[in-house]
Amino acid sequence: MTFGMKLKSWWLKLMVRLYIPAALQGMRHTLARVFRPKVTLSYPEEVHVPRKGYRGEHRLKKDELGRMKCVACLMCQTACPAECIRIDAGPSPWPDREKIPIAFTIDMLKCIYCGMCEEACPCDAIELTPTFNKVATTREEKIYDINKLLSR
Amino acid sequence: MANFLPSLPDVLKIAFCIGFFVLGITPLLVIIERRLSAFMQGRVGPNRVNIPWLQRMGGVLPGGLGQPLADVIKLLFKEDFLPASADKALYYAGPVLVLVPPALGMIVIPWGNRIGNEHLQVADLSVGVLFAMSVLSVAVYGLAFGGWASNNKFSLMGGLRASAQLVSYELALGLSIIAAIMLTAGAGPDALGTVDPREIVQRQTHGILSWNVFGGGDLKMAPFGLLAFVLFFIAALAENNRVPFDLPECEAELVGGYHTEYSGIKFSVFMMGEYVGMILMSSLMVTFFLGGWYFPGVTDPADHSVLAGLLSVAVFVTKIMTILVFYVVIRWTLPRFKYNQLMNLGWKRLVPLALANVLAIAAVGVLGGAK
């Protein structure tokens, strides 16, 4: 170890022990932070727009004739790890399928928004929308029935 | 009897001192601290509450200026809680003893140049420095009373910590003030130092190098002046219970320390006392080390017109606001010390350094020949 290196290490140790240079460095960093862009939103005026593919609340899709696509195969209900989907099947009025759901209920409070139902669906009938704001004032409001799911 | 009645200029000066330095800057400082800390954390901060008729003036002012006002109104209407088996008299005395001493200390601060024959200072005491120091020491009682009277373990710990910390750091504070006083010693009739704050400022009005932080006109003294200033600043942080020395009220471990049991208006008086203490400390700093109301090229010490007087007040306020913003930046940068580190720093570093500084100034003053 040369004398110069010793001197340098002594100087660095002194700077650490003095605490003030490090503190000043930290304060420079803090001050620089002031001018960075803000990461929060002013909520009622600015609304968070979720990225593409965000998994929000469900909806049931309709085909080009305006009929619901669901054939009540119960694949989503089976796939759901949170067991929040409940389907009651009934006879179909249309010739292209045997069953349609009479009741299709999703408990949004149980749902973990994993998207497994969307993956499982063979008819591409259920999907997760990018709805971010999921506010309700009662528990009952968050249990969505078939009409609500179809109308979304 | 007539002598005891204050004259009109006196009343105006007292009104300005209390109305602006105590009641005016405090809410401003609160909102600056909240907004600035929000910016540092990437937030927006309180920007909704406005002062109604100021908002209508075209929206020039940034939002949120009314926030401290709204907070005070909210605190006024909250329950004034008295813990069971609290010592009632001391419990009530606590917040008052925290707020009044720093407000009292403000009266010796010269916050402006002379207008006509009126010095812009409420009380021109020849022992102003000693007055400010002695009045500051009383604030310890407020914290200790608050901690003791609440009949709460956390509060008691906070009060104990506050009293130990304030007493320890007062020593370093006093010693660095002594250094400043020694630096004010000049040539000729000013050969001796002075403890009159107005005189201390007056002697720093000969260019920026005559500020005590730069050695008070003698470049040999500059390192000692700077060291005294740094020591004073650190000790002032500790005296104000500011981060990184906020052990008496550390939120995480002591749940607020000595003001755990305080709510409503008494809590806000506690908080206000702390902010006024900060304002007093930065005023003392500016007075002793940074040339008071003087800034070369902006204020002319020989100009006694009204405009120049107001300008000197503006310079003084700018200086203390700079230091107060510095306080805020420190608060959001440094982590809190441990208690043993605090005491080690106080007794083993600051006090010996401040003593050595005083001795060094004396030695250089004697050996280097009087200025």
Query: Looking at the structure, do residues B51 and B118 belong to the same domain, yes or no?
Result: no
A38 and B40: CB-CB below 8 Å? no
Query: Looking at the structure, do residues B37 and B54 belong to the same domain, yes or no?
Result: no
Residue at a domain's end among B26, B58, B77: B77
Residue at a domain's end among B77, B99, B130: B77
What is the Cα–Cα distance from B161 to B155, expressed in whole angstroms?
A: 10
Query: Looking at the structure, do residues B151 and B247 belong to the same domain, yes or no?
Result: yes
Query: Looking at the structure, do residues B58 and B123 belong to the same domain, yes or no?
Result: no
Query: Looking at the structure, do residues B141 and B281 belong to the same domain, yes or no?
Result: yes
Query: Looking at the structure, do residues B95 and B133 belong to the same domain, yes or no?
Result: yes
Give the distance from residue A103's alpha carbon to the nearest chain B alpha carbon, in angstroms: 45
Say if CB B331 and CB B250 are below 8 A apart: no
Query: Looking at the structure, do residues B60 and B190 belong to the same domain, yes or no?
Result: no
Q: Which of residues 308-347 of B touch A (CB under 8 A)?
A: 329-330, 332-334
Query: Looking at the structure, do residues B94 and B232 belong to the same domain, yes or no?
Result: yes
B47 and A27: CB-CB below 8 Å? no
Q: Which domain holds residue B59?
A: 46-77
Query: Looking at the structure, do residues B308 and B339 belong to the same domain, yes or no?
Result: yes
Query: Looking at the structure, do residues B184 and B326 belong to the same domain, yes or no?
Result: yes
Query: Looking at the structure, do residues B27 and B121 belong to the same domain, yes or no?
Result: yes
Say if CB B191 and CB B185 are below 8 A apart: yes
B42 and A31: CB-CB below 8 Å? no
Q: What domain count does chain B have? A: 2
Per-residue pLDDT of chain B (371 residues; tens, 9 = 90+): 456 677 787 888 888 888 888 888 888 888 888 888 888 888 888 887 777 776 656 555 667 788 888 888 888 888 888 888 878 888 888 888 888 888 888 888 888 888 877 778 888 888 888 888 888 888 888 888 888 888 888 888 888 888 888 888 888 888 998 888 888 876 555 667 778 888 888 888 888 888 888 877 777 788 888 888 999 999 998 888 887 888 777 777 777 777 888 888 888 888 888 899 899 999 999 988 888 888 887 777 777 788 888 888 888 899 999 999 988 888 888 888 888 888 888 888 889 999 999 998 888 877 775 54
What is the Cα–Cα distance from B115 to B125, expressed in whole angstroms?
A: 18
Residue at a domain's end among B27, B59, B77: B77
Query: Looking at the structure, do residues B190 and B214 belong to the same domain, yes or no?
Result: yes
As for the ipTM of the complex, it is 0.73
Nearest to A23 among B44, B47, B334 (CB): B334
* Nearest chain B residue to A19, by CA: B334
A27 and B333: CB-CB below 8 Å? yes
Contacts 24+ apart (CB under 8 A), B351-354: B351/B171, B351/B172, B351/B175, B353/B172, B353/B227, B353/B231, B354/B171, B354/B172, B354/B175, B354/B176, B354/B179, B354/B228, B354/B231
A23 and B47: CB-CB below 8 Å? no
